[in-house]
Structure 1
């Protein structure tokens, strides 16, 4: 039964990070100019846009690897939840294109906006679990691991 637990834990984590590693990170790397162009829509200057994209690549690769390996996975998931929220607010601004109810770009952005926050919720489940007491445990030791692949998983503080 322990093997099935490990496979499920890895599979769920892989599904959560699959969008970021490899796809979004690779897209930013191989289409760097396009990514910087999109970032310039939010910050209007090249240097900060390049910085944002480089930070994004580092977050998407580094935090995804931490979540997959279980190394400081709670902190990494917390960072990814924030990343999803920030990117939704900066690049999925469904309220800007015009009449939401008429359809078009605003409606498509709305669904992308919600998807980002749904992903954030998934990452927060790794961070905090489902119990209120685990929030205290995270705050007490934010770099702790959930030990997702341990045969005898430790209880969360």
Structure 2
């Protein structure tokens, strides 16, 4: 049963980060020029757009690995929650096209669902960050870079 518990914990975390690692990160790497072009829509300078994409790559790879391995996983999840919110606000601006009520296949409606998806993912990452109850918030606030020890079984001691 212990192996099953660890497998479930790993699978849940893998499902949370799967969008970022490998898919979004790999897409940014393989289509770097296109990604910079898309980022140029949010910022006016090409160097700033390149910096945004490189920052995004760092966040998607390093923070995803933190969540998956349990190393500073709560801090990593907090960063990814913020990343989801920022990318929703910068690139999923459903209010801009002006065709939200035009029909079910409008550009604004597609962006709206992507916007909500980003915030739903942020909620999942915040569950990793803070836990599932009010009593667990203090653990993050008192030591945000500590591991939550996601693969530890209840009867195993916590190593510092």
- For structure 1, the 5+ residue unaligned runs are none
Structure 2 Cα separation of the partners of residues 154 and 35 of structure 1: 45
Report the counterpart of residue 61 of structure 1 in structure 2.
61
Structure 2 Cα separation of the partners of residues 137 and 118 of structure 1: 23
Aligned length: 155
- For structure 2, the 5+ residue unaligned runs are none
**Over aligned residues, Cα RMSD in angstroms?**
1.3
Match for residue 115 of structure 2 among 106, 113, 116: 113
Which protein is richer in helix relative to its size?
1
Task: Give the TM-score, by structure 1 length.
Answer: 0.95
Contact 2:99 2:107 (8 Å CA) reproduced:
no
Post-superposition CA distance 1:4-46 (Å, at most 9, x none): 1100000000000000000000100110000000000001210
Structure 2 Cα separation of the partners of residues 18 and 148 of structure 1: 17
Deviation at 1:134, TM superposition (A): 1.6
Structure 1 Cα separation of the partners of residues 90 and 30 of structure 2: 22
Report the counterpart of residue 98 of structure 1 in structure 2.
98
Deviation at 1:154, TM superposition (A): 7.0
Structure 1 Cα separation of the partners of residues 99 and 52 of structure 2: 30
Deviation at 1:145, TM superposition (A): 1.0
Task: Give the TM-score, by structure 2 length.
Answer: 0.93
